[in-house]
Structure 1
Amino acid sequence: MAQSLSFTVKRRDPEFVKPSKPTPHTIKLLSDVDDQEGLRFQIPIISFYKYDPNMAGKDPVDIIRKALAKTLVFFYPLAGRLREVPSRKVIVDCNDEGVLFIEADADVTLEQFGDALQPPFPCLNELLYDVPGSSDVINTPILLIQVTRLKCGGFIFAIRLNHLISDATGLVQFMTAVGEISRGMNIPSVVPVWRRELLNARDPPRVTCSHREYEQVPDTKGTNVPLDDMAHHSFFFGPTELAALRPLFPSHLQQQSRFEIITACLWRCRTIALQPANDEEVRIICIYNARGKFNPPLPKGYYGNAFAFPVAISTAGKLIENPLGYALELIKKAKADVTEEYMHSMADLMVIKGRPHFTSVRMYLVSDVTHVGLRDVDFGWGKAVYGGPAHGGVGVVPGLASFYIPFKNAKGEEGLVIPVCLPTQAMKRFVKELDILLKNNISQPNKGGLKSSFIISSL
């Protein structure tokens, strides 16, 4: 398994890559959706690329470094620094200081990572080195990139982005542009658009929608997930697993999306595993890309944050005791709440309430990145074997999030890999409950510990 793999990475000293041509020195404001408290963290993304005989003799480090400098001419705010001004507003000081870039070599081949190439990755800190002093979100480089050559001729591209400036869609737009310029294009196929004022609060701001995701819920019973003694496992959901889950729902819900089916199951299994009191409220936030909700649509090339945190809420007792269709209906309703007015109302709430963090008490957050296109980024060596989040839970409150990542298993089946992080004993209960659902037979619970076939990696 990849998780037992040990290897050595030799890094050169970090350098700053700056735009290859002069760019405007100016101040740009983030939107009121961008600079909320819940986005004040770094997103780590990692992509693995095979050796391509057609690229023999070409150095991915050199090619990507040069393409990065050219791409930053178009995305010049990314070469600046974020500053905080009164009212906790965040601005971009476009000063061409550059992004951090690290050149590295690893004494390992891509094949040695094994078939299960997904989070949690071995030696992640070596593949995406946290340069001392770089991980704050204010007054530090907005991007950190490490390109690591492998013994087989493949390479690993790892990037850490300050979430305040872009969401996953915006990051892929930038990475795609670096790839296009790496392959010889002079201009990105999608030219970046700033236009952050489109998601600013109105004047005067007015909250017109319910935003229970930002409720300030006291953790009076100490039910936030503890961060010590945590177990990390990745679970695969392919055609077989989905076929086992759909019949668990009433007929009128069985054709709902893969996301909704799996999310309903995970939410209930996780709730059972954490053992909250029956009367405690539990929440699930489903990250929702709202770009398509605007009329007219946000401009093509807009690379700011444009998603919402719609929340479904239930008491633990109702979630556990009701059929799975109950959870799915709550999730559908939460997603349907997101409209253009909802997004404007959310921006207004940020200004009125001081840019609050979304509620983390008894909360589970899921984000589907299957359609973002991280695997499709091509620097000249073809598409990535794996392209996605570098680990399962990121953010100010780690351990509470799961990503739905496109993945092909050892059998060649396309599906999702979903990293989950829970306290060790809760993880054992979670696996048992999920195994019961997948076997579709509640009279035969799993007695095999953590050896269920749908677990494809552990840490």
Structure 2
Amino acid sequence: MASSSSPLVFSVKRCDPEFVRPTNPTPRELKQLSDIDDQEGLRFQIPVIMFYPNNPLMKGKDPVKVIREALGKALVYYYPFAGRLIEGDNRKLMVDCTGEGVLFIEADADTTLENLGDAIQPMCPCFEELLYDVPGSGGILGSPVVLIQVTRLRCGGFIFALRLNHTMSGIPGLVQFLNAISEMAQGLSVPSLLPIWQRELLNARNPPRITCIHHEYEEVTNTKGTLMAMDENNLVHRSFFFGPKEIRALRNRLPASLGASTTFEVLTACVWRCRTIAFAVDPDEVVRIICSISMRGKRGFELPPGYYGNAVVTPASITKAGMLCKNPLEYAVRLVKKAKAEMSQEYVKSVADLMVIKGRPSFMHPGNYMVADVTRDGSGEIDFGWGKPVYSGLARAISIISFCARFRNSKGEEGNVIPICLPPPVMERFEQEIKKMTKEEEPVRLITSKL
């Protein structure tokens, strides 16, 4: 069920990094991000990877050349991606649209898609080879907003890897940009969906006022000393596949009285509960589950088609660790549902106002854990001319953030994969807890308690 992150043995030959700039002149201006975009919790890089097989119909075509040229054309419309972020008063982020360009790397690997095998999934153990961390390129301010590496494979396929400054866009906005590149690669001169900036739509009110409870941004009081701040350099990375059998086992643990639950809710509850048990958190410590909830396409949110900024909020539910760990799965599922139910127009406005009032705080606290649903992110449809990727999406999790993606395992089973990173001894306990939870057995009853 869990897949290891042991290193693969192959070499990658890279050309020197270069900047790809818009092919036509673009406006030189300052463009403010929204008050949802520039919060502290989004000031990190999103890693994405896509694996493309060989397509005999594209014989003689070079994916590096095709994508590089299409990127330059797409940047005429998405020119803020070619700029650099700067910070103003009250830590307000703005894009200086300098046209300096996206950082691009051409590479070749002496391997094939077939040889990569189980590496074609989140937590790809060879990711550092497939997206070189160019020195000085990974900052939030003054650094390239996007880094891309296209790596040719011996089989004729290729790998497209990317790193994005999260404050500029989330996954939906990134997919919109990549779709524009793919359309340019296949001959269009104008994207079918034109980009819209309008970040002011998600700015704070005047005057700002906090009208909702936002547990995700609360300062953590680690009274027992068991809530661990994880060292990113000392973590084990694993991906956990939940196929029909595992999901059925989890659903069998839930009583009919709970009502309908989505697969995402059930898996998030399971992983959060097992993770908390594995950390051996003191029973009296408060822990939180955070759900990343999109406002796109929801009634009451006036975001126009083409808007490519961040459009999510991250409501949380809280409980004491002891209650989460001793209660059956139903208890955790109810808490996940409760967090999702916080989403509303007023909640979004309150988050934007909180950012301005409290100096753009972070939700990246020990005791917090987030799972993002990317099962319908659209990245699997991105076609640069070689067809659809065999895997496309986020490349890995980070300390307190995991995600749930659709995945077909090596046996051909369709299911969901959730990557997670934990300290080595915690990971061992986590794997054991997951095995217990996904073992089919009789349903269990909820211990009566107050959420």
Would the TM-score normalized by the shorter structure come out above 0.5?
yes
Cα deviation for residue 293 of structure 1 reads: 3.7
- Report the alpha carbon displacement of residue 411 of structure 1 after superposing the two structures with TM: 2.1
Q: Which amino acid aligns with 1:401?
A: I
Residue 418 of structure 1 aligns with an amino acid whose one-letter code is I
Are 1:326 and 2:309 counterparts?
Answer: no
Amino acid at match of 1:126: E
Shift of 1:294: 5.2
- Name the structure 2 match of 1:240: 245
Q: Distance in 1 between matches of 2:412 and 2:314?
A: 33
Report the equivalent of 2:310.
305
State the alpha-carbon separation in 1 of the partners of residues 148 and 118 from structure 2. Answer: 25
State how far apart, in whole Å, the 1-side matches of 2:422 and 2:386 are: 37
1:374 aligns with 2:379: yes
**Is contact 2:294-2:311 (8 Å) kept?**
yes
**Structure 1 residue 252: Cα displacement:** 3.2
In structure 2, relative to structure 1, the CA distance for the partners of 1:162 and 1:64 (3 Å cut) is same
1:126-152 superposed Cα distances (whole Å, 9 cap, x missing partner): 210111111001011111111000000
Tell me the residue number matched to 1:437.
437
**Residue pairs, 1:94-173, within 5 angstroms:** 94-115=97-118, 117-173=120-176
Which residue in 1 is equivalent to 2:230?
226
* Aligned counterparts, 1:196-207, within 5 A: 196-207=199-210
Q: 1:225 touches 1:400 (CA, 8 Å); kept in 2?
A: no
Tell me the TM-score normalised to structure 2 length: 0.94
Contact 1:293 1:340 in 2 (8 A): no
CA drift at 1:17: 0.6
Partner AA of 2:432 in structure 1: K
Give the distance between the partners of 1:99 and 1:419, measured in 2 at CA.
28
Q: Could you tell me which residue of structure 1 aligns to residue 9 of structure 2? A: 6
- Say whether the 8 Å CA contact 1:246–1:255 is kept in structure 2: no
Whether the 8 Å contact between 2:208 and 2:356 is mirrored in structure 1 is yes
In 2: Cα distance, 1:233 partner to 1:331 partner: 23
Deviation at 1:359, TM superposition (A): 4.8
**Post-superposition offset of 1:219:** 3.3
Q: Per the alignment, in what secondary structure is the counterpart of residue 218 of structure 1?
A: coil
Does 1:389 find its partner at 2:391?
no
In structure 1, what is the equivalent of residue 54 of structure 2? 51
Partner of 1:448: none
Which secondary structure does the structure 1 equivalent of 2:349 belong to?
helix
Where does 1:256-335 land on structure 2 (aligned, <5 Å)?
Answer: 256-293=261-298, 295-335=300-340
Q: Residue in 2 aligned with 1:408?
A: 408
Q: What are the superposed Cα offsets for residues 213-256 of structure 1, whole Å, 9 maximum, x if unpaired?
A: 11111334152243264322111012121111101011133631
Aligned length: 438
Query: Does 2:180 match 1:177?
Result: yes
In the alignment, the residues of structure 1 paired with residue 272 and residue 129 of structure 2 have an alpha-carbon distance, to the nearest angstrom, of: 33
| Partner AA of 2:311 in structure 1 | A
**Paired residue for 2:363, among 337, 358, 362?**
358
Q: Write the deviation string for residues 158-183 of structure 1: whole angstroms up to 9, x where unpaired.
A: 11111111011100110111111111
Per the TM alignment, residue 267 of structure 1 is displaced from its structure 2 partner at its CA by 1.2
| 2:446 corresponds to | none
Find out whether 1:40 has 2:43 as its counterpart.
Answer: yes
Q: How far did 1:364 drift? A: 1.3
Find the aligned partners of 1:411 and 1:125 in 2 and give their Cα distance: 27
| Cα deviation code 1:301-347 (max 9, x no counterpart) | 10001101111111011111222111111111111111111111100
User: 2:92 is aligned with what amino acid?
Assistant: K
Structure 1 residues without counterparts, runs of 5 or longer? 394-398, 443-459
Cα contact 1:215–1:359 (8 A) shared by 2: no
What is the CA deviation profile of residues 184-210 of structure 1, one whole-angstrom value per residue up to 9, with x for unaligned ones?
Answer: 112112111000000000000011111
Cα separation, 2, equivalents of 1:27 and 1:237: 45
Q: Deviation at 1:292?
A: 3.1
Post-superposition offset of 1:20: 0.8
Matched to 1:366, the amino acid is: V
Aligned partners of 2:252 and 2:441 also within 8 Å: no
State the Cα distance separating 1:2 from its structure 2 match: 7.8
Is 1:26 the counterpart of 2:35? The answer is: no
Amino acid at match of 1:53: P
Moved more, 70-79 or 423-432: 423-432
Q: 1:278 to 1:251 in 2, by over 3 A?
A: same
Aligned residues of 1:48 and 1:387 also touching (Cα < 8 A): yes
Distance 2:396 2:6 in 1: 12
Is this contact kept in 1: 2:119–2:126, CA < 8 A? no
Deviations 1:280-299 (A, max 9, x none): 11111111112234525310
For residue 267 of structure 2, what is the amino acid of its counterpart? I
Distance 2:57 2:257 in 1: 51
Equivalent residue number for residue 421 of structure 2: 421
Matched-pair identity in %: 57
Say if 1:134 and 1:141, in contact at 8 Å, map to a contact too: yes
What is the CA–CA distance in structure 2 between the aligned matches of 1:196 and 1:226, rounded to whole Å? Answer: 33
Shift of residue 427, structure 1, vs aligned partner: 1.6
Matches of 2:235 and 2:33 in 1, distance apart? Answer: 35
Aligned CA-pair RMSD:
1.7
In the superposition, relative to structure 1, how do residues 90 and 226 fare at CA in structure 2: closer, same or farther (>3 Å)? closer
- Residue type of the partner of 2:319? S
* 2:346 alignment partner, SS class: helix
After superposition, the C-alpha distances for 1:88-122 in whole angstroms (9 at most, x for unaligned) are 00111111111101101111111100145213223
1:454 maps to which residue? none
CA distance in 2, matches of 1:104, 1:360: 37
Determine if contact 1:4/1:122 at 8 Å carries over to the other structure: yes
1:16 aligns with 2:10: no
Which amino acid in 1 is paired with 2:409?
Answer: N
